[in-house]
Amino acid sequence: MRVYLDNAATTPLDKEVFDTMAPFMLEHYGNPSSIHSHGRQVRAAIEGARKTVAGLLNTSPAEIFFTSGGTEADNAAIICTIRSLGIQHAITSPLEHHAVLHSFESLEKRGEVQVTMLRVDEKGTLDLAHLEEILASQPRTFVSVMHANNEIGNLNDIQTIADICKKYDAVLHSDTVQTMGHYQHDVQTLGLNFLVGSAHKFHGPKGVGFIYVDSAIKIHPLIQGGSQERNMRGGTENVYGIIGLAKALEIAYRDMDEHHRHIQSLKDRMISKLREQIEDVQFNGLSAEADKSLYTVLNVSLPASEMNEMLLFNLDINKISASGGSACTSGVDLGSHVLRGMNADMNRGNVRFSFSKYNTAEEIDYTVATLAKLYQKETV
């Protein structure tokens, strides 16, 4: 048995998605910018995909732009908006993905914006009173707050955040990469200005994503080139990636309730069995609270031990794939910036397990039994 529990990093491609993509790899190869029939056929497919995504998000196709993934989409929302609108102040949290944090760091180093960090508590909960306090004194502000944290799974109250931002005429961007395809996003109800998605987080292909841009916000493109994406992103489109993204999101919305129930049951099972079999097991952030966390993520804090340094390696030897945090920083031995940002105990063994529709109860049982054995605890 080989167990894959790193779905927050990437998910396996759905066979139905691959079958939809395949003709655009082998048969429909025209450049969508070409005016001949080969090009027009592919252009029509891209626009059909755009219409599908827009319909699922309850918005206009004119507000959906395809990108190379969530990182590019986050960069575009932040960098292009601040530069295009001349915004000089931004608010974010220390728990954001590095696609967000590094964008702000780059702009701040260049003197293009001043960044204020929201206060967070030891559970990773954002201080929304602090957000309102800052906006009351500096209303012309860019705010970037993720919908759910990719490491600890905390769900932020994005509707309340959007309402606060609207009250003070602030521009709101939300990194929704971890929740896209797992929760419904109605941008008309939410009232935010930007949200993003990345296909490989919901069983689509890697290397393709999208950004929703509120039509009331006029920004310049991040990538210069041709007139693709209605002059918003130069470069020939990743055609089969776009086709796959739309199909994957369509399937995710179609089967969302069923998958939610299945995955939540696996997460609940793991929490229960970990508590039974490992003494002093804890859970970082709000990841063990069903109504306050992303149902696909469980961040486990294991007792201090000499073996913690090799925990992920030992899991891998036992054919279990998990992570210590974001895959984007796994090669940097600094520990999770999210856990450090909420003052978590870094001497404990902190590991993120993330689930998908393809995981089984047997895999959960095997993983917990393996952890219990590693920590030399008897099964209760």
* List of domains in the chain: 3-11+256-374 (3.90.1150.10), 15-254 (3.40.640.10)
pLDDT band at 327 (very low <50, low <70, confident <90, very high): low
CA-CA distance, 105 to 82, in Å (whole number)? Answer: 13
CA-CA distance, 105 to 111, in Å (whole number)? Answer: 10
Give catalytic status of residue 328 as yes or no.
Answer: yes
Residue 107 reports pLDDT greater than 50? yes
pLDDT band at 204 (very low <50, low <70, confident <90, very high): very high
Average pLDDT over residues 40-49: 97
Q: Which of 22, 223, 310, 328 is catalytic?
A: 328
pTM, entire model: 0.94
Q: Burial letters for 299-313: b for 16+ Cβ neighbours within 10 Å, e otherwise? A: bbbbeeeeebeebbe
Min mean pLDDT across 18-22, 96-100, 114-118, 376-380 is at 376-380
pLDDT band at 163 (very low <50, low <70, confident <90, very high): very high
Residue with the bigger pLDDT between 42 and 140: it is 42
Averaged pLDDT score across all residues of the chain = 94
Residue 194 reports pLDDT greater than 90? yes
pLDDT band at 153 (very low <50, low <70, confident <90, very high): very high
CA-CA distance, 29 to 143, in Å (whole number)? Answer: 40
pLDDT tens digits for range 268-309: 999 999 999 999 999 999 999 999 999 999 999 998 887 778
**pLDDT the model gives residue 343:** 75
The two beta strands, 171-174 and 142-144, are parallel
**pLDDT the model gives residue 373:** 92
User: Which amino acid type is present at position 80?
Assistant: C
**pLDDT the model gives residue 52:** 98
